[in-house]
A and B are shown apart, each in its own frame.
Chain A
Amino acid sequence: GQNIDQPTEMTATEGAIVQINCTYQTSGFNGLFWYQQHAGEAPTFLSYNVLDGLEEKGRFSSFLSRSKGYSYLLLKELQMKDSASYLCAVWTDKLIFGTGTRLQVFP
């Protein structure tokens, strides 16, 4: 089977840093995506990792360890608008989504 697990909910304070973890066990691996989704909207692409290491893009960074089946999304300088669901997804021969993490940012 395919398992992609994330914490269900997280809370953080404006201006802080938060790390959202994702662990996966899948049949095949061709890359890992992170998406942001606000309620009632389509997911928005944040990052794509296919090789081990850290990819930095502005306030957001994503890390991948293929040997450990592990990734995290790091959000710095949190803003209120970062309150959303964050979805980890693994590309096998199709894109399988994790359970999703609802992040709430408080002032």
Chain B
Amino acid sequence: GAVVSQHPSRVICKSGTSVKIECRSLDFQATTMFWYRQFPKKSLMLMATSNEGSKATYEQGVEKDKFLINHASLTLSTLTVTSAHPEDSSFYICSARDRDRHEKLFFGSGTQLSVL
């Protein structure tokens, strides 16, 4: 099956630093990638949709300057949490849509971010 690799799986950082999370589709081309955030015991909240070669579309209430998304190629999207604060601590997860299998979405393994 298709594989989406997400790194790092866990990161602990100091308040004020920036953290980059990578999401790669390993054996398929992903025209669209989605970034989600999940709080403990809650469902996944869509943050933004990124299409290869264009600017990301952010959901209402998500700060564009805080959560920078880059989708430079058909296999790589990155989420950078800039100037992280404790309230940004969360589980972040990406998913990629296979260009050839539109109904399928494949998820990365997630990144647990803890900001001290």
Residues of A at the B interface (CB closer than 8 Å) are 30-31, 33, 40-43, 45, 48, 50, 85, 87, 89, 91, 94-100, 102
A–B complex contacts, Cβ < 8 Å, 11 sampled:
A33-B105, A42-B93, A42-B110, A43-B93, A89-B44, A94-B34, A95-B34, A96-B46, A97-B36, A97-B46, A102-B41
Residues of B at the A interface (CB closer than 8 Å) are 34, 36, 41-46, 49, 91, 93, 95, 103-105, 107-110, 112
A42:B43 contact, CB within 8 angstroms: no
Chain A nearest Cβ from B49, distance in angstroms: 5
Q: Beyond the given A94-B46, A97-B36, please list 5 additional residue pairs across the A-B interface where CB-CB is below 8 A.
A: A40-B110, A43-B44, A48-B104, A87-B44, A97-B45
CA distance A47 to B71 in the complex (A): 28
For A85, A95, A102, the residue with the greatest tally of chain B CB atoms inside 10 Å of its CB is A95
B36 nearest in chain A by CB position: A97
Q: Which of A30, A43, A85, A96 contacts B107 (CB 8 A)?
A: A43
A100:B107 contact, CB within 8 angstroms: no
Chain A nearest Cβ from B62, distance in angstroms: 13
B112 nearest in chain A by CB position: A40
